Amino acid sequence: MKVRNQKYLNAFGKHLAQLLEQKGKTPEEVAAHANIETKQVYRVLNGEHSATISITYAIAKGLGVHHMKLFEFDFKD
């Protein structure tokens, strides 16, 4: 069974976009520092991808933030 909450994915992507802006980084820079493909960052930003724990950890590393910072946003289902 595949469970996907599109509203949550969109909210996560929006939060990631805010973090990118706060850090003054582009998706390309984050991907390069995280050693992942740029398209993976864009897919998360656009709510097109339910990122794995490994990808969220890599994105956090690329942003220079603690991995839990990615999940610190308000979401009401």
21 occurs within a structural domain = yes
Q: Give the pLDDT confidence of 29-65 residue by residue, as tens digits.
A: 999 999 999 999 999 999 998 899 999 999 999 999 9
Amino acid 3: pLDDT:
66
More confidently predicted of 76 and 61: 61
* Number of domain units in the chain: 1
Domain of residue 24 covers: 6-70
Calpha distance 27→41 (Å, rounded): 6
What's the chain's length in residues? 77
14 occurs within a structural domain = yes
77 occurs within a structural domain = no
Q: What CATH number did the domain enclosing 16 receive?
A: 1.10.260.40
Calpha distance 50→62 (Å, rounded): 18
1 occurs within a structural domain = no
Calpha distance 77→54 (Å, rounded): 25
Whole-angstrom CA distances from 46 to 1, 6, 18, 53 are 23, 10, 13, 17
Which whole number is the average pLDDT over 18-28?
98
Give yes or no for a contact between 75 and 8, defined as CB atoms under 8 angstroms apart.
yes
Amino acid 2: pLDDT:
65
30 occurs within a structural domain = yes
What percentage of the chain carries pLDDT values higher than 70?
Answer: 96
What percentage of the chain carries pLDDT values higher than 90?
Answer: 88
- Quote the pTM value: 0.91
